[in-house]
């Protein structure tokens, strides 16, 4: 059958060092056409770091069916683009993937089998409830093997106060 080049919307490219680059450039281009954003302004970051989100306010999307379809497609794109998993502004993400459509996940062979883990938090970054978002990634050698981004849960005092206020 030959070497693997394309499978389930994922392009597989062999690198000079024997690694594999998994990308979804063709899938991104199809998604941008579906959302009518193929000529949109490209962007190299998913969101500015100074953006604050609020639970209420903002504008609604004028085509809910297209919105749900695009969000579902973006979820599949996180297979090779884990940095998209926590972004919530769909139009900003579409501008970002237009500017970075050739990005992907690089898997490299390595003699080093050191496990490294990194974590970060925004320390109460949600302006509505002051909860933090924490995230981590785990690497085996140079390869990403696990990652997570999660909003801090309610602690008992917050849960009791919310139930009393309701």
Confidence of residue 57 (pLDDT cuts 50, 70, 90): low
For 90-107, write each residue's pLDDT tens digit.
878 888 888 888 888 888
Domain ranges of the chain: 1-109, 110-166
Reported as a single tens digit per residue, the pLDDT across 13-40 is: 998 888 888 999 999 999 999 988 888 8
Helix (H, G, I), strand (E, B) or coil at 124: coil
Asked if 10 and 23 touch (Cβ cutoff 8 Å), the reply is yes
Q: How far is CA 139 from CA 13, 28, 39, 116, 166, in A?
A: 21, 26, 36, 5, 44
- The closest of 131, 109, 111, 113 to 121, measured between CA atoms, is 131
Q: Model confidence over 137-149: pLDDT tens digits?
A: 898 888 888 888 8
């Amino acid at each position: 059958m030959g070497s693997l080049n394309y499978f389930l919307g994922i392009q597989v490219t062999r690198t000079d060092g024997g690694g594999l680059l998994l990308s979804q450039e063709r899938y991104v281009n199809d998604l941008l056409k579906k959302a009518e954003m193929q000529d949109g302004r490209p962007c190299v970051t998913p969101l500015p770091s100074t953006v604050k989100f609020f639970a209420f306010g903002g504008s609604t999307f004028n085509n809910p069916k297209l919105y749900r379809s695009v969000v579902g497609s973006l979820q599949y794109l996180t297979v090779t683009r884990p940095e998209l998993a926590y972004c919530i502004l769909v139009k900003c993400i579409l501008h970002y993937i237009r500017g970075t459509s050739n990005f992907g996940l690089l898997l490299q062979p390595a003699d080093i089998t050191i496990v490294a883990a990194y974590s970060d938090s925004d320390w109460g970054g949600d302006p509505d409830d002051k909860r933090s978002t924490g995230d981590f990634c785990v690497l085996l050698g140079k390869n990403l093997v696990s990652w997570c981004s999660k909003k801090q849960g309610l602690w008992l005092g917050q849960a009791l106060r919310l139930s009393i206020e309701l």
